[in-house]
Amino acid sequence: MRQSTPTDSFGRPARTPGQARSRAAAKPIAAVLVGILALGGLAACSSTTSGASSALSSEQAAALVGSDFYDTSLVHSITIDFDEAEYQAILDAYTATGDKDWISATVTIDGTVFEQVGLRLKGNSSLRGVGSDTTASADTDDSGDGSASTDDPETLPWLIRLDKYVDGQSYEDRTEFIVRGNTTESSLNEAVALELIGLSGLVTEKSAAVRLSVNGGDEALRLVMESIDDDLWNDDTFSSDGITYKADSTGDYTYRGEDAADYEDIFDQKTGEDDLTPLTSFLDFINNSDDATFSAELGNYLDVDAFATYLAMEDLTSNADDIDGRGNNSYLRYDSETGLMTVVAWDANLSFGAANVAAGGGGGQAGGGQAGAGQAGAGQAGDGAAAGGPPAGGAAAGGPPAGGAAAGGPPAGGQGLGDQAAGAGAGGMEGNNVLATRFLADSTFSALTETATAALTASLYDSGDAQAVLDRWSALLEEQASDLIATDTLQSEADTIAGFFTSSN
């Protein structure tokens, strides 16, 4: 059992003098903001003025100082400054080897300045424009981030790690911030999907709309989110001690024996004491148990209700790149108290029909407008298929199974439950994840998923709650980021998402 942790007057974990973490103070924007990190007495933050072109009003700038970074009533601000030669060096390294090297940067988050911050590229298909030979290393993740240009570093996907070079450096109880890639210009699809996952009762990551500028350049509208790799995120998210494992994009859920070395290219342990035994035991069971044993005993290894909800949410948000997608995007959380694994959703930037295009950046929402039959081509093409075209077998990537969309599922162009069970490749899915395949092939477990889908359709879509989430995000961007995204583009991308909410009616 985890020992209870003292809390402050806001219910946050109390900090000892040696664990003080920097926070922006709510002071007038012209005031000097100085936070002293307890570790080494490093001056962590001060007021700063970016040289980037900005339509940020003085009122908006003042509101950001001291605000909660994941306050979704605000478009937040991040500026990054680094040495251009070091930037070119990491581009060259990625082009040559696929490795993502770290550089040191100065990062300003909503007015708080951090020196000696770790910064590296993050993504896989999002980095196709980095060089002519961008073979991904085993460390790559979030496949399907879209594309970006190295000439405009504010468009690239980044991992910001505040404590890479300065022990204990953090901001609002987070050490890592992920600047996401997306083929849509608004990133509404991922922001809304993440929030809906949370409303379903599952673990999710918070996200924030952000004005991002690099080395004094123009601002770009980006989505920044929490990192599951962050120890502080895990501490805040899970009530029990445990271990968090990440499935590599180049890996799978196969069992490879008990030797930890055999899993280096398919799973990484991110938090907890070094121990792959819970993982290997789980993989052994889901791969090697017979059908009767799998049905009777899976509940001893996996939170089956949470997994049924996970599958339902990935289906309802039409995520083409989930546990069963080509990016193998997921985490496994082992609860030391219950002994159960939980699949933690990760990488939702292909949700709601967004297409994984090889170039061109924003505006990649499948169909370019309203959801519906015109969304064929959403997601990744299956093996041997042209990008955006139908996979082998003739079904449009992202299209419905034979006979139309699954009951309670997304509109034509979305992915139905039948696609996962049959491994039809809908939405670009490979359909060969052993856990998803066996789970949906079992009548009891598939019934759980169907029940979860129906319940979530009613509670999120039919109730109007999902539309309210979308409306709030859309209004935020229209009111505070109209200089960064065209109104018609924002409306078109919002309309596409909204089409998924009403398709079952």
Q: What is the pLDDT of residues 313-364, one digit of tens each?
A: 999 999 988 887 665 788 999 999 999 999 999 999 999 988 765 433 344 4
CA separation for the pair 78, 54 (Å, rounded)? 12
**Which of 39, 33, 178, 43 lies closest to 112 in space, CA to CA?**
33
Q: Give whole-number Cα distances, 64 to 114, 323, 472, in Å.
A: 16, 36, 18
The DSSP letter of residue 381 is P
Q: What is the pLDDT of residue 131?
A: 55
Q: Which residue has the higher pLDDT, 30 or 72?
A: 72
CA separation for the pair 450, 112 (Å, rounded)? 47
pLDDT confidence band for 45 (50 / 70 / 90): very low
CA separation for the pair 84, 92 (Å, rounded)? 12
Task: Give residue 79's identity as a one-letter amino acid code.
Answer: T
* Contact residues for 349 (Cβ-Cβ < 8 A; gap 6+): 142, 144, 145, 146, 180, 181, 182, 183, 187, 189, 190, 321
Q: Give whole-number Cα distances, 142 to 120, 377, 437, 471, in Å.
A: 14, 20, 22, 26
pLDDT confidence band for 426 (50 / 70 / 90): very low
Q: Which long-range contacts (CB under 8 A, 24 or more apart) does 400-404 make?
A: 400/426, 401/426
Place of tokens 């405009």: 152
Q: Give whole-number Cα distances, 263 to 139, 171, 258, 331, in Å.
A: 13, 33, 9, 14
Q: Give the model confidence (pLDDT) of 466-477 as tens digits.
A: 999 999 999 999
**Which of 328, 311, 256 lies closest to 287 in space, CA to CA?**
256
Tokens representing 70? 């994941």
CB 164 within 8 A of CB 117: yes
**Which of 211, 210, 267 lies closest to 243 in space, CA to CA?**
267
Q: Give whole-number Cα distances, 441 to 16, 315, 336, 371, in Å.
A: 51, 16, 28, 29
CA separation for the pair 338, 335 (Å, rounded)? 6
**Which of 412, 392, 391, 394 lies closest to 403 in space, CA to CA?**
412
Across 94-108, 389-403, 425-439, least confident range? 389-403
Predicted structure pTM score: 0.76
In three-state secondary structure terms, 211 is: strand
Q: Give the model confidence (pLDDT) of 242-279 as tens digits.
A: 999 999 877 789 999 999 999 988 999 999 989 999 99
- Determine the Cα angle at 417 with ends 413 and 422, to 5°: 100
Of 380-384, 394-398, 440-444, which has the strongest mean pLDDT? 440-444
Asked if residue 120 has pLDDT above 80, the reply is yes
Task: Give residue 48's identity as a one-letter amino acid code.
Answer: T
Q: What is the mean pLDDT of residues 420-436?
A: 54
In three-state secondary structure terms, 119 is: strand
Q: What is the pLDDT of residue 395?
A: 33
Tokens representing 249? 């994009």
